[in-house]
């Protein structure tokens, strides 16, 4: 094989390798639903992602309850009783997931207006 052909083959492999990198599944994934009622009935709003989020205050409606579907070890979900992720009123859901499909609510008439997810690096 000529040097030029080897060069073309090597270049093609490098271009394809950088255009289609191997993807490793992110181990810091999480998924939960927020519900407008304390019984988790009706239509919930799904929240899914991986890694840390920062404050998420753009919720469609305030939620009275949540159902945790999955949370990776090393992550925690903070649900706030306000729309600014103010830590004066919050619930913390640490990972890993121990019980799924359980409706959980803050009680005392509190409602969730924002959340953030924090995962270890």
Contact of 51 with 91, CB cutoff 8 Å: no
Find the mean pLDDT for residues 4-22: 43
The pLDDT assigned to 27 comes to 67
Residue given tokens 């306000």 in the structure block: 82
pLDDT in tens, 91-116: 777 777 666 678 888 766 778 899 99
In a domain, 78, yes or no: yes
Tell me if the pTM is above 0.75.
Answer: no
Among the listed residues 71, 24, 80, 25, the one whose alpha carbon sits nearest the alpha carbon of residue 52: 71
The pLDDT assigned to 31 comes to 92
**What is the total count of domains within the chain?**
1
The pLDDT assigned to 95 comes to 73
Residues facing residue 78 across a β-bridge: 92, 116
In a domain, 41, yes or no: yes
In a domain, 40, yes or no: yes
Residues facing residue 74 across a β-bridge: none
Distance CA 40, CA 16 (A): 47
Report the CATH number at residue 113: 2.60.20.10
Contact of 95 with 65, CB cutoff 8 Å: no
Distance CA 91, CA 77 (A): 8
In a domain, 8, yes or no: no
Element (H, E) at 109: none
**What's the domain range around 57?**
24-119
In a domain, 111, yes or no: yes
pLDDT in tens, 31-65: 999 999 888 888 889 999 999 999 999 788 889 88
In a domain, 6, yes or no: no
């Amino acid at each position: 094989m000529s040097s030029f052909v080897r060069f073309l083959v090597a270049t093609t492999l490098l271009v394809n390798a950088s255009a289609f990198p191997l993807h490793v599944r992110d181990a810091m994934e999480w998924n939960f639903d927020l519900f407008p009622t304390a019984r988790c009935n009706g239509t919930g709003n799904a929240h899914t992602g991986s890694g840390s989020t920062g404050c998420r205050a753009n919720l469609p409606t305030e939620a009275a309850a949540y159902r945790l579907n999955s949370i990776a070890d090393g992550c925690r979900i903070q649900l706030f009783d306000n729309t600014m992720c103010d830590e004066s009123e919050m619930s913390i859901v640490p990972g890993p997931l121990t019980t799924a499909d359980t409706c959980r609510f803050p009680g005392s008439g509190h409602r969730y207006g924002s959340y953030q997810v924090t995962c270890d690096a």
